């Protein structure tokens, strides 16, 4: 993380730092994140968990991106049945035969175009869902 401070703020933070040290105030570490979501079954530790992992596959045309994604999400020994919803942003998934199995899943929502509004809407929908539970 990079934090940019102007001179006035830098002096302020130096003052706080020295004041804390001189008064022997203990700074506690941030409490570790407790995973609120409980998975229906254990998964391999190399796979995504509940802490907000995001996957991005980048490769040339016909390099196997869709095949890899479907294997990860649809195989019983990997992530099948783990996610309530799958949001797929792909301009070719709807017309690409290699994505047909994932697109046919009831919990898969396909969007053809990325937008910041789409991401905000997905996040807002997830927040509303948590409130209802």
Please indicate whether residue 2 or residue 130 has the higher confidence score (pLDDT): 130
The confidence score (pLDDT) of residue 1 equals: 45
Round to whole Å and give the CA distance between 5 and 28.
Answer: 24
Express the helix, strand and coil content of the chain in percent, nearest 5 each.
40, 5, 55
Round to whole Å and give the CA distance between 121 and 113.
Answer: 14
Burial of 43 (0-12, 13-18, 19+ CB in 10 A): middle
The confidence score (pLDDT) of residue 74 equals: 93
The confidence score (pLDDT) of residue 59 equals: 86
Reduced to 3 states (helix: H, G, I; strand: E, B; else coil), residue 110 is strand
Give me the residue spans of the domains in the chain. 66-132
Length of the chain: 133
Round to whole Å and give the CA distance between 30 and 21.
Answer: 18
pLDDT tens-digit map of 21-71: 666 777 777 777 665 667 778 887 777 666 666 777 888 888 888 899 899
Please indicate whether residue 116 or residue 28 has the higher confidence score (pLDDT): 116
């Amino acid at each position: 993380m990079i934090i940019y401070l102007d001179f006035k703020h830098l002096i302020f933070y130096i003052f706080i730092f020295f004041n804390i040290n001189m008064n022997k105030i203990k700074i506690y570490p941030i409490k570790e994140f407790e995973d609120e979501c409980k998975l229906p079954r254990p998964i391999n530790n190399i796979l995504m968990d509940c802490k907000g992992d995001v996957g991005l596959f980048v490769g040339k045309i016909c390099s196997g991106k869709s095949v890899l994604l479907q294997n990860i999400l649809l195989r019983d020994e990997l992530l099948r049945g783990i996610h309530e919803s799958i949001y797929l942003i792909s301009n070719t998934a709807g017309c690409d035969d290699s994505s047909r199995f994932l697109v046919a899943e009831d919990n898969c929502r396909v969007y053809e175009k990325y937008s910041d509004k789409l991401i905000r809407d997905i996040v807002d929908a997830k927040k509303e869902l948590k409130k209802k539970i």
